[in-house]
Structure 1
């Protein structure tokens, strides 16, 4: 009959170190449950390497990246040829920007001149339209003076003088005078009279005086024209 003993065998679990079988618990919580403060990365648990993921999927500590990017890079020495190319590129860029600035200034000046020219033309057109509306009254005064119906120094004569002064103030001038060469741009021929005394079309008589302001014609002069036989 075999003898049983209570002595442990070499492979018995009782021979192993009790601490070897104890589980290792790592507290990786970022918030301290006791104080409620945020733990430093070293307190939250060991990292698995820069830029790598830990066992629980958390990213590793990357606090050193800011220092990496904030550090000044190494000085690079350019060769004489490369430096010349760089200087030429800078000069070309400055010249291009200067040309763009001059072009923009020229366009601005042209725009201002065009606006002023259009404004002056519009003003002249409005003034011409207003003065044109007074021409019939001025014609009536001229006919009355020709027939002796307007005594010198009378009120009507003073009114006629003031109207003509206002016309002169705006640069209004009369066109069409007896003996002047006929100009179809300013004169309207109502009658043609053959004459041996003229070498070309000439105004023989003015039927109705014409007016112009600057180069703008308010009304053509109606005239009788003498033409060569």
Structure 2
């Protein structure tokens, strides 16, 4: 549209104008892509930094939880525990691992496996240490005890069905 209004008669000058306009549009597009990439990189660095800080604070949270379970809860301890959990949650920390959850090896580390003929699938029966994640980042898997059905290949692993 702009090109039609210009009273340029020289073809080489018109060609130069079109070339410079194309260059300008290309540079603008590259700059827009660069800004978007920088924004994504900053967000990724922020997420990694938050995950690292939260991972470093998990032993503190574990110690507070242990203390709350084994010691009489004083108003001061209650305040500290609530404030710590609230502040960590505001950074996106989410805990997982509940009794009765289906066992998921991506989120649970089974430290004990009990066999039950009644069980249809592996189920968490005891949570030994809670798991935590922030966003899509797994900070720590939950340590659990599981109950599940007997493995169909358990006899063959023990050598009972071995052919000689």
Instruction: State the TM-score bracket (shorter-chain normalisation).
Output: 0.7 to 0.9
Higher RCO, Cα 8 Å, sep 6+? 2
TM-score normalised over the length of structure 1: 0.54
Whether 1:191 and 2:112 are equivalent positions in the alignment is yes
Question: What is the aligned partner in structure 2 of residue 132 from structure 1?
Answer: 55
**TM superposition shift of 1:221:** 0.9
Structure number with higher strand proportion: 2
Matches of 2:69 and 2:51, distance apart in 1? 26
TM-score normalised over the length of structure 2: 0.73
* CA deviation map 1:70-124 (0-9, x unaligned): xxxxxxxxxxxxxxx965983x655544433333222212211221222122122
* RMSD (Å), alpha carbons: 2.4
Distance 1:103 1:150, change over 3 A: farther
Whether 1:112 and 2:40 are equivalent positions in the alignment is no
**TM superposition shift of 1:208:** 0.2
Q: Secondary structure at the residue paired with 1:123?
A: helix
Question: Where do 5+ consecutive residues of structure 2 fail to align?
Answer: 1-8, 151-164
Write the mapping of 1:1-229 to structure 2, written as runs, cut at 5 A: 90=14, 93-147=16-70, 149-151=71-73, 154-229=75-150
Question: Where do 5+ consecutive residues of structure 1 fail to align?
Answer: 1-84
Question: What is the aligned partner in structure 2 of residue 24 from structure 1?
Answer: none
- Between structure 1 and structure 2, the one with the greater Rg is 1
Matches of 1:197 and 1:109, distance apart in 2? 60
